Amino acid sequence: MQDILGSVRRSLVFRNPGGDERGFGSGLVEKIGSSLRKSRFGLFSKPPLRSLSSFLKDDAPPIRWRKGELIGCGAFGRVYMGMNLNSGELLAVKQVSIAASGASKEKTQAHIRGLEEEVKLLKNLSHPNIVRYLGTAREEDSLNILLEFIPGGSISSLLGKFGSFPESVIRMYTKQLLLGLEYLHKNGIMHRDIKGANILVDNKGCIKLADFGASKKVVELATINGAKSMKGTPYWMAPEVILQTGHSFSADIWSVGCTVIEMATGKPPWSQQYQEVAALFHIGTTKSHPSIPEHLSSEAKDFY
C-alpha cells in the first residue's frame, strides 16, 4: 500500500512528455480532435457476431432472471434492476441492443466488442472492492451482462444528492479504491476510466470499482499499441493519455487524485474553468496539476 500511496503523490505532479514545446499547441488540437472523433464514432473493425454466443458461454449453468425497472442508461445501452429467480438475489443487468443497421450497426458492433473485452476481464476478477460478475444472457436482439447490484449508486450520484463529502468519508472511500486498484494492477490490468461515476457504493459504505469497458491487460496494450490510445473521461485524464505518448498504471493513479478532488469539492478538477475539449488542451499543454482544495487538512494535502 505504501508503494501505491507514493505513486499517488508523485503522479499528481505534471509529467512533462518531453520534446520541444514550440508549435506544440496546434498539433495537440489536431490530435485531440482526431482522437475524440475516433472514440465517439467507434471506428473499429466489425466483430463476428456469429461467434458471440460461443464467446459468452459460461461453464456455470445459466442464471434464471427477470428484468425489473430501468436504473440507468447510456449511449449504447441501458442498465436494469433484475432478480435471480433461483436465489432471489438482486442484479444489475447491463443490456445493449444488437439489432441495428447501417451506421448504427457499426457503432453497436464496436460496442459489443468492448463488452466482450469487459466480460473477459470481469470473469477472472474477485475482490471486495470490484463489482462482481455473475454471468451473461443472450436474447434475440440484445446482450445482457449480469452484475452484482449495488444499492447506493455511484459516488457521482451521491455527490449530487449530498454535496461534497467530509474528509473522513473521502479517506474511507479512497482507501478502498486504492485496494481495488492495487488488485487490478497486480493482475496486470489498467482500469483507464476511474471517476466518481464508475465507483459504486453499497448501503454499508463499501465501494466497488465498476465499468471495465475501457480496461485492458497491460500485455494487450503493448501488443496492439493501445498504450497510446486516448481512453477515459477528459477531466480525469492524465497528461500522457491526452498526448498519446504512452501510459501505464500511473495514469490510473492520476485519475484517483482527480476523483479525490471530485469528492472534496463535488465537481471534477478544471470543470469550473473549462469545457471538456478546452480541459484536454489545458491538461496537455500546461505544467499545472489540479488545485488542492483549501479546506482540506494538512494530512490530506500531503497525500498529493
* Catalytic annotation, residues: 193
pTM value is 0.70
Q: Is 94 annotated as a binding residue?
A: yes
CB atoms near residue 123 (< 10 Å): 13
For residue range 246-289, what is the model confidence (pLDDT) as tens digits? 556 778 888 898 899 999 999 888 666 666 676 666 666 675 67
Residues 195 and 290 placed together within one structural domain of the fold: yes
Tell me the mean pLDDT in the region 21-36: 47
**Residues 173, 27 within the same domain:** yes
Instruction: Look up the domain containing 275 and give its range.
Output: 2-41+151-303
In the chain, the number of structural domains is 2
Same domain? 172 vs 204: yes
**Residue 171, CA distances (Å) to 10, 69, 155, 174, 288 in order:** 19, 33, 13, 5, 24
Read off the pLDDT of residues 103-162 as tens digits, 9 standing for 90 and up.
566 776 776 777 777 788 888 899 999 999 999 888 877 888 899 999 999 999 999 999
Which of 148, 166, 192 delimits the end of a domain? 148
CATH number of the domain that residue 26 is part of:
1.10.510.10
Q: If DSSP codes are grouped into helix, strand and coil, which group holds residue 46? A: coil
Say if residue 178 is in the same domain as residue 213. Answer: yes
C-alpha cell at 88: 432471489
